[in-house]
């Protein structure tokens, strides 16, 4: 069967889904909304109408964020179902990001001693239903102690990370280690998923996987330096495999004396252009993260035309969809806080 035939179903689905993406002009207009009611009114007859219609009043940006993410999960599942299996398995890894967020939410909920109902309300079950992990998440939600919560995942790919996170939690009472270690699991799975792609597909996924993984490593280490984390702790937080970062470079970065020293090392890598130095480390890191996201967005815009009969097609569409959801979440939070439209747009990918 030809590559053209393999991708016929997903290309048809992408065409239908792309037609429902919001125009840049509409997105900019929405940022001028004076209330969340006005804001959501502009989303009638869009792809988000179904999720928004189910939101209980009063509207809040938090409820809208959940609705937008539920819609994004739907998009991922549609692409996975229609993409050839070898490529679909790679796209499925991106869906695991929601599972990681579900686990993080449960960890924080257990730590805060929330009720079962409150815990369940935090989980994106649409992702878990597709991933066939609903029973595991429900068991974890019933846990009343961190030890019980961690035990619920004993037969999953998260077992080792959660066990190590639990040790740190017992010593410090902080859930930070859980977040870092779970993120590392995701990026390790992303690299493994990339390696399993057929040879001819790798070149079309390389840009997305390499930027996402390597930027995470660099941003994580630099954030760690601002918090004075030691190199041993940071080493556990960085994915084992990198795309465009040598082992020597990463080790030098990990053992750098401080943020300024680490930033100098980063500036000498192929990603140095993303890290324009500002007056404070937090702003430098924040701007770099925005720059990475914008680069992926811009690449996806171009690739929707050039990438057709390969995994690049669904990846480009999903990157545009992610950018749209990012913008909607930023706008809903800004409108709720009565932030001027021009300031809201500073946090958007347009």
Question: pTM to 2 decimals?
Answer: 0.95
Summarised one tens digit per residue, pLDDT across range 49-104 is 999 999 999 999 999 999 999 999 999 999 999 999 999 999 999 999 999 999 99
Domains in the chain, CATH or no CATH each: 84-197 (1.20.1690)
Q: How far is CA 184 from the centre of its chain?
A: 12
**pLDDT at res. 308:** 86
Separation of alpha carbons 167 and 275, rounded Å: 34
Are 242 and 250 a contacting pair, CB within 8 Å? Answer: yes
Three-class HEC string of the chain: CCHHHHCHHHHHHHHHHHCCCCCHHHHHHHCCCCCHHHHHHCCCCCCCHHHHHCCCCCCCHHHHHHHHHHHHHHHHHHHHHHCCHHHHHHHHHHHHHHHHHHHHHHHHHHHCCCCHHHHHCCCCHHHHHHHCCHHHHHHHHCCCCHHHHHHCCCCCCCHHHHHHHHHHHHHHCCCHHHHHHHHHHHHHHHHHHHHCCCHHHHHHHHHHHHHHHHHHHHHHHHHHHHCCCCHHHHHHHCCCCCCCCCHHHHHHHHCCCCHHHHHHHHHCCCCHHHCCCCCCHHHHHHHHHHHHHHHHHHHHHHHHHHCCCCCHHHHHHHHHHHHHHHHHHHHHHHHHCCCCHHHHHCCCCC
**pLDDT at res. 304:** 83
**pLDDT at res. 2:** 66
**pLDDT at res. 69:** 98
Separation of alpha carbons 21 and 42, rounded Å: 13
**What's the chain's Rg over C-alpha atoms?**
21
**pLDDT at res. 1:** 55
Q: Report the largest interatomic distance among the alpha carbons of the chain, rounded to a whole angstrom.
A: 57
Ranges of residues in the chain whose predicted pLDDT is under 70: 1-2
């Amino acid at each position: 069967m030809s590559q053209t035939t393999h991708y016929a179903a997903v290309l048809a689905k992408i065409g239908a889904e792309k037609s429902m993406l919001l125009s840049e002009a509409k997105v900019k207009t929405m940022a001028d909304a004076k209330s969340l009611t006005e804001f959501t009114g502009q989303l009638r007859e869009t792809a988000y109408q179904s999720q928004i219609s189910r939101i209980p009043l009063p509207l809040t940006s938090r409820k809208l964020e959940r609705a937008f993410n539920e819609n994004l999960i739907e998009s991922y599942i549609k692409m996975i179902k229609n993409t050839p299996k070898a490529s679909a398995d790679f796209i499925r890894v991106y869906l695991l990001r929601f599972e990681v967020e579900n686990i993080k939410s449960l960890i924080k909920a257990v730590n805060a001693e929330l009720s079962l109902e409150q815990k369940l309300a935090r989980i994106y079950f649409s992702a878990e239903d597709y991933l066939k992990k609903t029973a595991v998440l429900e068991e974890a939600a019933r846990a009343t102690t961190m030890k019980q919560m961690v035990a619920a995942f004993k037969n999953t790919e998260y077992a080792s990370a959660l066990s190590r996170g639990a040790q740190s939690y017992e010593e410090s009472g902080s859930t930070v280690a859980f977040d870092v270690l779970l993120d590392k699991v995701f990026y390790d799975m992303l690299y493994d998923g990339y390696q399993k792609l057929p040879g001819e597909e790798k070149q079309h996924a390389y840009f997305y996987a390499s930027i996402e993984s390597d930027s995470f490593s660099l941003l994580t280490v630099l954030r760690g330096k601002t918090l004075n984390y030691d190199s041993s702790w940071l080493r556990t937080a960085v994915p084992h495999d990198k795309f465009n970062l040598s082992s020597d470079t990463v080790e030098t970065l990990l053992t750098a004396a401080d943020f300024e020293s680490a930033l100098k090392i980063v500036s000498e890598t192929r990603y140095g252009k993303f890290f324009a130095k500002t007056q404070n480390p937090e702003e430098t890191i924040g701007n770099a993260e925005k720059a990475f996201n914008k680069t992926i967005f811009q690449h996806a815009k171009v690739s929707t035309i050039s990438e057709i009969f390969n995994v690049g097609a669904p990846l480009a569409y999903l990157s545009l969809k992610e950018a749209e959801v990012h913008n909607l979440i930023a706008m809903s939070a800004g409108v709720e806080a009565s932030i001027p439209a021009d300031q809201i747009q500073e946090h958007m990918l347009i």
